[in-house]
Amino acid sequence: MSNAMVMAGVAGSPIEHSLSPVIHEAAFHALGLAWRSERFLVGLGQGADFVTMAKERGLRGFSVTMPLKSELLDLVDWVDSSAWRLQSINCVAIEDDQTTGYSTDGEGFINWLRYDAKFEPKDRHCVIIGAGGAARAVAAALADAGAAKVGIMARRHDQVERACVMVGAVCSSVTEEDLEMADLVVNATPQGMVGTAHADSMPCDPRRVRHDAVAVDLVYEPLETAWMLALRSTDHVVFGGLGMLIHQAAIQIELWTGAEAPIPEMVKAINAVMGERQ
């Protein structure tokens, strides 16, 4: 793809370690598109200039990461209902010089949950650890998929309350004791992430997770966190965050290209890169 044109990318700060271009370019190559994806270093307050530049360069869209997810709400021409509900954008599509902001994390999580984990959320009891943007997206998607209860466990009560308002009536604040009732437990915090102050910590006591529950850690660097390893040591069913990363990106690919995302090729590309990093 040496002669490919930059038609997509990922914007945010920091951005140098983002895996989005790897996933994007694997999809473009499989679809026969001579497109490239680029990392764009864009800090808080620089969103407007970046959107203008993206239009001028003819980009078809870009992924959005911190710290721009809220800033772009006021900078795009249209906001999809899912992004408006969560007050967060993680994808922008550009067509005929018009920009539309989307939130693909929640739908991507549910698609992955059904596709790989073979878990159907309907009528299930789910607990999300964390109350940030990813946690809210996952919680809202689980509620929309028919979960009976969606509990949010986090230290900041104001964030939990805000998330519950966004998600709806099935959502409530829970404590670690409630983990024993959950069919699905999702870590949506940075606990266990490489390169952070939380690298060696766990989001909760793994002994609290019911033995037949499905556990998901949205962290994907490392591929196996300390929490995941502790759960696996007692034969829990555990998944890392690469699945959600790929499936939310697949929705973005479809928004930009109009073609079905080649998920197997995207998985192969990201596994190769992660294998080199470990």
What span, in angstroms and rounded, lies between the C-alpha atoms of 152 and 163? Answer: 8
* Side chain identity at residue 164, one-letter code: C
What span, in angstroms and rounded, lies between the C-alpha atoms of 20 and 38? Answer: 9
Selecting among 55, 69, 122, 268, the annotated active-site residue is 69
Sign of the torsion formed by the C-alpha atoms of 151, 152, 155 and 158: negative
Instruction: Provide the token pair at 56.
Output: 């001028």
69 given a catalytic annotation: yes
Residues marked active site are found at 69
